[in-house]
C-alpha cells in the first residue's frame, strides 16, 4: 500500500548524522516535521528535529516509538539491524522496505545482485582461507583488495595486496572480522557515481553522473558533470534505472563505479540513501538529492534533477576546519560552505562541505582552488 502524504507529515529518520540533517532541512522546507532516532541527542539531525528518540539504532523499542510518532519512516544509515527494520515494516509505513538495505549490508550479496541485473562488477571471490587469496592472486596476475563483507566504510576493513607478504598480513588483520571478499585491483582511470531517486509510485529521476576523487579512501571531491563520454554517462544511468526497477527501490540512492583504463565501467558498491557525492545537487541542481528523497518516500511528485550549473564539491574533514575558518572570507564569497553542527573536529571526521559553481566545469574547478590549497 503506497501513501501520498500531504505537507506537514511527520517523517521519522533512523540515524542522526549529516545525511539525516540535510534530509530534515529539505523536509522542513516542504512544511514537514522530523522525528529522529540517534544515540546523540545533540547530533546533526537532532539539532533540527521536532522529536528526538535518543537511543541506539538496534533498540527495537525506541525504533517502534519513533515509528508510532511518524507518518513514514526512512533511514540515513545502512547498518540498521534487519530484525529492527522487519519489526518496523510490520508495524508502520516504511516504503523503502528491507531488500535494498540488505543488499548494501553484504558485499558478496551486493555483487551477486548487481550481476543479476546485468551490471558488470570487478572479478571477485569469497575468501575463507589464506590459500584462497594466493590462488586468486595467481589466477588474476594482479594486485587485489581484501575487504570485510559487512560494516566497512571510508576504506575501513580493507587491505590492498600486492605481494605474498602483504597477503599474509592482510589475512592476519581481517581473518576474524566476519565474511571476507577478495576483489581484483582495478587500475582506475576515474571513479564515478550516479545518484538517482524513485518514488513510491515508480516515478524515477537521475542526477547527472559525477566524478569522485578519493584521498586515503575517503571522498575528497566531486565534480559534476563527470568528464566522460555520453556513452559512459548513459550506461551508468541505465544501470541505475534497471536496479531501481528490479529491486523496487524507493528513495534516493547512489551507485559508485570504477572506470578502468579501457573505459570499462564496473559497479563498485551502492548505497540505499542520499550520498556524499550527491551533495553538489543542493546548489547545482533544480532539486536536491535530499528534497528528492523526501518527495519519494512521501509519494509526492519528483522534481527535476536538471543540472543548473557545473559544480565542484569538497569535503571538510576535521583536520581542515582550522584552515577553512582561517580563509572563510576568501572562500566564502566563491563557494557555499556547509557545516553539519558536529561538536568535535576529529581527524578524518566529515564536518561539512563546500560547493563551488561555475559556468563551466573548468571555472568551478578554478574557483575551488583556494579551498584545494587547504587540503594540500
Going by the annotation, the residues of the binding site for ATP are 107, 147, 152-158, 183-186, 191, 214, 268-269
Phi, psi (deg, nearest 5) at residue 249: -70, 140
Q: Look at residue 204 and give the partner it binds from ligand ADP, Mg ion, none, a contact being a CB closer than 5 to 8 Å depending on partner kind.
A: none
Which DSSP symbol is given to 6? P
Order of all β-strands in the sheet with 51-53: 51-53, 33-37, 10-14, 72-75
148 binds ligand ADP, rule: CB under 6 A: no
Q: Which is nearer to ligand ADP, 211 or 256 (CB)?
A: 256
Stretch that binds ligand ADP, among 33-41, 153-161, 194-202, 335-343 (CB under 6 A): 153-161
152 binds ligand ADP, rule: CB under 6 A: yes
- Which residues of the chain form contacts with Mg ion (CB under 5 A)? 256
Residue 49 grid coordinates: 528535529
Per the rule left: phi > 0, alpha: psi between -120 and 50, beta: everything else, 15 is left
Q: Which is nearer to Mg ion, 86 or 154 (CB)?
A: 154
Binding test (CB under 6 A) with ligand ADP, winner from 32, 191, 211, 235 = 191
Distance of alpha carbon 206 from the chain centroid: 15
User: Annotated binding residues, as ranges?
Assistant: 107, 147, 152-158, 183-186, 191, 214, 268-269
108 binds ligand ADP, rule: CB under 6 A: no
- Cα separation, 46 vs 51, in Å, equals 8
Binding test (CB under 6 A) with ligand ADP, winner from 71, 76, 211, 256 = 256
Binding test (CB under 6 A) with ligand ADP, winner from 193, 197, 268, 288 = 268
122 binds ligand ADP, rule: CB under 6 A: yes
Binding test (CB under 6 A) with ligand ADP, winner from 186, 228, 254, 297 = 186
Of 375, 212, 222, which is closest to residue 311 (Cα–Cα)? 222
- How far, CA to CA in Å, does 360 sit from each of 7, 142, 261, 317, 349? 36, 38, 25, 26, 30
- Residue by residue, DSSP assigns 184-230 as EPP-EEEEEEEEEEE-TTS-EEEPPPEEEEEETTEEEEEEES-SS-H
261 binds ligand ADP, rule: CB under 6 A: no
Q: Which is nearer to ligand ADP, 169 or 309 (CB)?
A: 169
183 binds ligand ADP, rule: CB under 6 A: yes
Positions touching ligand ADP (CB under 6 A) are 122, 145, 152-155, 183, 185-186, 188, 191, 214, 217, 256, 268-269
Amino acid at each position: 500500500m503506497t501513501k501520498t502524504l500531504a505537507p506537514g507529515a511527520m517523517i521519522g529518520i533512523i540515524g542522526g548524522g549529516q545525511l539525516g540533517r540535510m534530509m530534515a532541512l529539505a523536509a522542513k522546507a516542504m512544511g514537514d516535521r522530523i522525528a529522529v532516532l540517534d544515540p546523540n541527542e545533540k547530533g546533526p539531525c537532532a539539532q533540527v528535529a521536532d522529536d528526538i528518540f535518543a537511543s541506539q539504532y538496534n533498540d527495537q523499542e525506541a525504533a517502534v516509538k519513533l515509528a508510532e510518532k511518524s507518518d513514514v519512516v526512512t533511514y540515513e544509515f545502512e547498518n540498521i539491524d534487519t530484525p529492527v527494520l522487519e519489526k518496523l515494516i510490520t508495524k508502520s509505513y516504511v516504503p523503502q522496505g528491507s531488500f535494498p538495505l540488505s543488499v548494501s549490508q553484504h558485499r558478496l550479496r551486493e555483487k551477486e545482485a548487481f550481476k543479476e541485473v546485468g551490471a558488470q562488477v570487478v572479478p571477485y571471490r569469497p575468501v575463507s582461507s589464506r590459500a584462497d587469496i594466493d590462488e586468486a592472486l595467481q589466477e588474476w596476475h594482479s594486485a587485489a583488495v581484501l575487504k570485510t563483507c559487512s560494516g566497512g566504510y571510508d576504506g575501513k576493513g580493507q587491505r590492498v595486496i600486492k605481494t605474498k607478504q602483504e597477503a599474509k598480513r592482510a589475512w592476519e588483520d581481517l581473518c576474524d572480522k566476519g565474511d571476507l571478499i577478495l576483489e581484483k585491483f582495478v587500475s582506475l582511470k576515474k571513479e564515478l557515481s550516479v545518484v538517482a531517486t524513485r518514488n513510491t509510485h515508480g516515478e524515477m529521476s537521475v542526477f547527472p553522473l559525477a566524478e569522485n576523487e578519493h584521498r586515503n579512501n575517503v571522498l575528497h571531491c566531486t565534480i559534476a558533470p563527470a568528464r566522460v563520454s555520453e556513452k559512459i554517462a548513459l550506461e551508468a544511468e541505465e544501470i541505475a534505472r534497471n536496479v531501481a526497477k528490479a529491486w523496487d527501490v524507493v528513495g534516493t540512492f547512489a551507485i559508485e563505479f570504477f572506470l578502468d583504463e579501457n573505459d570499462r565501467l564496473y559497479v563498485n558498491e551502492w548505497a540505499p540513501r542520499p550520498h556524499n557525492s550527491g551533495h553538489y545537487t543542493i546548489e547545482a541542481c533544480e532539486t536536491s538529492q535530499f528534497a528528492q528523497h523526501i518527495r519519494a518516500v512521501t509519494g509526492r511528485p519528483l522534481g527535476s534533477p536538471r543540472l543548473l550549473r557545473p559544480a565542484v564539491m569538497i569535503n571538510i574533514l576535521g583536520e581542515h576546519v582550522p584552515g577553512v575558518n582561517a580563509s572563510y572570507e576568501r572562500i566564502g564569497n566563491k563557494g557555499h560552505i556547509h557545516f553539519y553542527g558536529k561538536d568535535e573536529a576529529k581527524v578524518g571526521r566529515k564536518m561539512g562541505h563546500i560547493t563551488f559553481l561555475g559556468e563551466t566545469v573548468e571555472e568551478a574547478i578554478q574557483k575551488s582552488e583556494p579551498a584545494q590549497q587547504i587540503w594540500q
